[in-house]
Amino acid sequence: MANIKGMSSTYAWLTQHKQLLVQQLHNKRLPHALLIHGEAGAGKGTLANWLATRLACLNSNSDNLANDLSAHINHQASNKAVIESCGFCKHCKLIASQSFPDLLTIDEGDKAISVDAIRAVTRFLETRPQIATQKVVVIKQVELLTVAAANALLKTLEEPTLGNILVLTTNNTESLLPTILSRCQLVSLRPLLAEQFGQEGALQPYANTTYLPELQQIEQQQAYEAFAAATIGFLTLDTPYQVFEQALLGNDRALIWLERIISTLMRVSHQWQAPHSPQINWQAASKVNRNTLMRIFQVILSANKRSLDYQQSNQEQLVQQLALTIKEIVSEKERVNG
Ligand SMILES: [Zn+2]
């Protein structure tokens, strides 16, 4: 299997986000809490680490100018708005060796993030920075916060300590408390498949990380899972067309959900890590031809566009037509990647 991290080492799509954040930093408008979200492999951790380093770097910030004027000028010379940290100042080196005293990173891998970890964050933020101008906390995969931890974090977000910055990452905004979401500036990473995988995905279906607020509700979440199961079952020919059609017709979110499900299947078929949802068999994507997925995705996108112009009464017709078109695509040959 391909090494995803290795494949996406350039993360070209992060540049625009870096530019925007640097601009906010220069205008002293960087919010105290950011939530970077995107699918696995989208570069969330990379952007979080970049920001933590960029904030600390002695040679990239005018605030730190007095510390090392000549190095700053050298670093600035080639590029007026410095995007990257210098990599050689004391702070950059301490961060690289993971011993920078004013940066705390919480990264529990796939394990739950406990309330103790968040208490450590609170304690860390209570004291003044030791060598930097502010403290930075990076918490990776906040969808793994326990309920108690999420509530503790919410308190920290509600009572920001001056100048400190929290950078959160997640691949699943649906599972977060809306109150946490609303207190963070959202940074949505939507890498183009084509950027990451070359010409194979050149038709620009990107990672769909649209926030679906309805999935906060358990009934809706279950309905989404059943909908996904019906869709995936039909694509792999394990479920009859009628089941798929019924799932579509009975649901006013069908077009949006379908776009999300197909784009996820496409990423999984390109060896991106599947989203964390044990109820949905994303791995079935490997049974469906990528070109088939791509074509289905395109007809869904165009149906989604058309649906904006349609009266409510015509929506049902549009969805039915879409279901039939997908059926035609699926019944054509080349079902298995080869
Ligand atoms: Zn530096």
State pLDDT tens for residues 143-170. 999 999 999 999 999 887 778 999 999 9
Q: What is the CATH number of the domain that holds 71?
A: 3.40.50.300
Residue with tokens 């194979």: 200
Nearest residue to 310 via CA among 252, 258, 259, 262: 252
Between the CA of 97 and the centroid of ligand 1 the distance, in Å, is: 13
Nearest residue to 257 via CA among 313, 210, 290, 291: 210
Distance CA 125, CA 121 (A): 6
Q: In terms of domains, do 14 and 125 share one?
A: yes
Distance CA 297, CA 338 (A): 20
Q: In terms of domains, do 262 and 179 share one?
A: no
Q: In terms of domains, do 147 and 278 share one?
A: no
Q: Which of 191, 219, 238 is the last residue of a domain?
A: 191
Between the CA of 223 and the centroid of ligand 1 the distance, in Å, is: 49
DSSP single-letter state for residue 174: G
Between the CA of 59 and the centroid of ligand 1 the distance, in Å, is: 5
**Amino acid at site 295:** R
Between the CA of 76 and the centroid of ligand 1 the distance, in Å, is: 12
Between the CA of 136 and the centroid of ligand 1 the distance, in Å, is: 15
Question: Which residues make Cβ contacts (< 8 Å) with residue 42, sequence separation at least 6?
Answer: 171, 189, 190, 191, 207, 209
Q: Which of 129, 159, 191 is the last residue of a domain?
A: 191
Above 70 in pLDDT, residue 334? no
Above 50 in pLDDT, residue 270? yes
- Which structural domain range is residue 51 located in? 4-191
Q: In terms of domains, do 32 and 161 share one?
A: yes
Nearest residue to 54 via CA among 29, 78, 89, 80: 89
Above 90 in pLDDT, residue 252? no
pLDDT in tens, 26-65: 888 999 999 998 877 788 999 999 999 999 999 987 655 4
213 pLDDT band, cuts 50/70/90, is low
Above 80 in pLDDT, residue 275? no
pTM of the model: 0.60
Q: In terms of domains, do 181 and 313 share one?
A: no
Between the CA of 224 and the centroid of ligand 1 the distance, in Å, is: 46
Distance CA 327, CA 305 (A): 20
Between the CA of 84 and the centroid of ligand 1 the distance, in Å, is: 9
Whether residue 118 lies inside any domain: the answer is yes
For the chain, what is the mean pLDDT? 81
Between the CA of 311 and the centroid of ligand 1 the distance, in Å, is: 56
Between the CA of 323 and the centroid of ligand 1 the distance, in Å, is: 55
Between the CA of 52 and the centroid of ligand 1 the distance, in Å, is: 11
Between the CA of 61 and the centroid of ligand 1 the distance, in Å, is: 9
pLDDT in tens, 106-122: 999 889 999 999 999 99
Q: What angle do CA 204, 206, 209 make, to 5 degrees?
A: 165
Give the pLDDT of residue 106.
97
Nearest residue to 209 via CA among 38, 56, 26: 38
Q: In terms of domains, do 294 and 320 share one?
A: yes
Q: In terms of domains, do 149 and 93 share one?
A: yes
Whether residue 336 lies inside any domain: the answer is no
Between the CA of 80 and the centroid of ligand 1 the distance, in Å, is: 16
